[in-house]
Amino acid sequence: MPLWMVIARGPIFRFALAVFVLGLLRLLLLTLWGMLQSVRQAGDQRIPYGKLLRETLSWIFPFGQLVRTRRIYSFASFGMHLGILGAAIFLGNHLDILRANIGLAWPAIFKPVLDGLSVITILAGIYLLLYRIYVPSSQKLSKRMDYLLLILILNLFISGYVAGQTWNPIPYDGLMLFHTLNGLAIALLAPFTKIAHCVLFPLIRLGSEIAWRLTPQGGSRAVRTLYGPDGRRI
């Protein structure tokens, strides 16, 4: 194994994993703490937890949502998420690296299944990228990071898929270097970009509901802060 691969799969992997896990854990804890504080401050603490849980689950397992609007987009997005989760967590090669670094792993998914998921992810990723580029409403919303993350994911999956095929025409080591660098970049960016939704997603609907629970005298206090103790007139 080339030296660069030993380093990338060893110390650099551990560093990226630490940033990924600790960064996201920090976000999760800060969000939970913020929620707890907000509920304490709220004048009305009756939160419909059951309803919010059902709504959240209906989007975590969005089978009923996929056919409602923008079907192609919805299936593409769902397929890409499925592929990312499947390949990142259940590919035998990834689990070998994980086991070697932290001594922890779980059963892998049969490779042909993951290959199929990878193809879905690649096709879905290309569709989503083209959608951002060519559909005006999506183009207007998109920023550099939105394109960059999609390109990193596409790089990751295309290189990973091609490297694993017998017909791969590209030198394996070079392709793996490209694959590894993209994977590490995604792990390092996760806590600082919208990838953070992988841990915050289950809390967003609850958070929105809590935000509507206003704080008693919150408006008056804001006005006093801005306009002094006498406040202001309408």
Partner 1 sequence: MAVRTPLQTQSPPAVPEKVNQRFYHLEPAILPEVYHGDRVRAFLDAFAAILRHSNYRFAVEMYARTSSKCGNCAVSCQVYQATGDPKDVPCYRTNLLLDVYRRYFTPLGDLQGRLLHLEPLSEARIDEMAELFYRCTACRRCKLECPMGIDHGLMTHLGRYVLSQAGVAPKGLVVSVREQLEGKTANTSAIPFPALVDTLEFLSDEVRELKGAPAAFPIDVMDAEYIFYPAVSDYLMEADTLMGNAAVLQAAGISWTIGSGYFDGINYGLFYDDWVLERIIGKLVSEAQRLNASKILVGECGHAARSARQFVPTFGGDGVLPVVSIIELTYQLLREGRIQLDPDAITEKVTYHDPCNIARSGWIVDQPRHILRSFVHDFVEMNPHGAQNYCCGGGGGLVSLDETFDFRMQVAGKTKAEQIAASGAEIVATPCANCKKQLRELVDYYKLPVQIVGVHDLILRAIKL
Binding site for partner 1 (CB under 8 A): 27, 31, 34-35, 37-38, 41-44, 46, 55-56, 59, 62, 65, 68-70, 73-74, 77, 135-143, 146, 192, 194, 196-197, 200-201, 203-205, 207-208, 210-223, 225-228, 232-234
Could you tell me if residue 231 is left (phi over 0), alpha (psi between -120 and 50 degrees) or otherwise beta? left
CB of 124 to partner 1, least distance (A): 13
CB of 36 to partner 1, least distance (A): 10
Q: 82: which 2 tokens?
A: 């499925």
Spatial contact of 160 and 154, defined as CB atoms under 8 Å apart: no
Based on CB atoms, which residue is closest to partner 1, 99 or 194?
194
> What are the C-alpha distances in Å from 164 to residues 93, 105, 180?
10, 21, 14
CB of 195 to partner 1, least distance (A): 9
- State how far the Cα of 116 lies from the Cα of 86, in Å rounded to an integer: 11
Task: Residue 179: name the closest of 196, 157, 164 by CA.
Answer: 157
Q: Which long-range CB contacts under 8 A does 167-173 form with residues at least 24 apart?
A: 173/2, 173/5
Based on CB atoms, which residue is closest to partner 1, 111 or 205?
205
CB of 200 to partner 1, least distance (A): 5
CB of 159 to partner 1, least distance (A): 24
Task: Residue 127: name the closest of 86, 170, 74, 195 by CA.
Answer: 74
CB of 132 to partner 1, least distance (A): 9
Spatial contact of 95 and 108, defined as CB atoms under 8 Å apart: yes
Based on CB atoms, which residue is closest to partner 1, 18 or 135?
135
Can you say how many angstroms the Cα of residue 215 is from the centroid of all Cα atoms in its chain? Answer: 31
Based on CB atoms, which residue is closest to partner 1, 4 or 78?
78
Based on CB atoms, which residue is closest to partner 1, 100 or 222?
222
Based on CB atoms, which residue is closest to partner 1, 119 or 200?
200
Q: Side chain identity at 157, as an amino acid letter?
A: F
CB of 26 to partner 1, least distance (A): 12
Task: Residue 78: name the closest of 113, 128, 24 by CA.
Answer: 128
User: Kindly report the CA angle at 87 between 81 and 90, in degrees rounded to 5?
Assistant: 120
Based on CB atoms, which residue is closest to partner 1, 5 or 57?
57
